Amino acid sequence: MIGVAGIASSSAQNVYSVNVVGYINLTLTNTFNLIANQLENGNGNLVTNMFTGLPNQTVFYKFNGATYDSLTYITGTPVPTWSAGPNRLMTLAPGEGVFVKKPTTAPSISVTFVGEVLQGDLVNPVAVGFDMYSAMVPQEGGITTVHAYTASNQDTVYEWLGTGWSTARVWLGTAVPPRWNVEPILQVGEAVFINSRAQKNWTRTFTVN
């Protein structure tokens, strides 16, 4: 769920800026959850700042291009803490994604992201090969038809279904016209794996009307 929590605007000599603050509610189940945060929280988008009150031993996994970095939430005393090490700087910024796995004995929980909806010309760098990505704005829609991802021939997207992966969503660049075999429809708060055949910028121009 996404909502607009407030709008602040300012003007000076006919120059206007509008900041839109929103929220996203996500439910974490007993399976792995591949999630995205599509709001800028203004505090570095650190996982350690964004999540509180999680079940003990909830683990975050972020792909680094070769394997997964992990970060664990620990409900110790006197206050909850996080596992030590450099992964305490793990981010979940707009355009990124992480897997979250909570203990199977804990009930499903809801998490809420609050922050600014990014506007203007938004650029998400895409590297060659596999990595986690998400749309940079909280809007449901096709990865290309709505979110303006410009695919290279044979780019492949994999969507996490909760217990396994979708069939490959492949960009058929030599088809007439070029098209996806099945276009990925991105949900608010959803990240995906993309196997990109070329380095590129995923650029989206977005304005809240």
Every domain of the chain and the residues it spans:
2-114, 120-206
Q: What is the pLDDT of residue 6?
A: 35
| Dist. CA 79–CA 135, nearest whole Å | 34
Phi, psi (5° rounding) for residue 49? -95, -20
The DSSP result for 99-140, as a single string, is EEE--TTSPPEEEEEEEEPP-EEEEEEE-SEEEEE--SS---
Length of the chain in residues, anyone? 209
Q: What is the pLDDT of residue 185?
A: 98
| Dist. CA 84–CA 72, nearest whole Å | 9
Q: Which residue has the higher pLDDT, 193 or 6?
A: 193
Amino acid code (one letter) for 122: L
Nearest to 48 by CA among 38, 39, 58: 58
Residues 37-67 pLDDT 10s: 999 999 999 999 999 999 999 999 999 999 9
Confidence of residue 19 (pLDDT cuts 50, 70, 90): confident
Q: What is the pLDDT of residue 14?
A: 41
Confidence of residue 15 (pLDDT cuts 50, 70, 90): very low
Count of other CB atoms within 10 angstroms of residue 209 = 2
Q: Where are the alpha helices (DSSP H) in 14-58?
A: 47-50
| Dist. CA 28–CA 34, nearest whole Å | 9
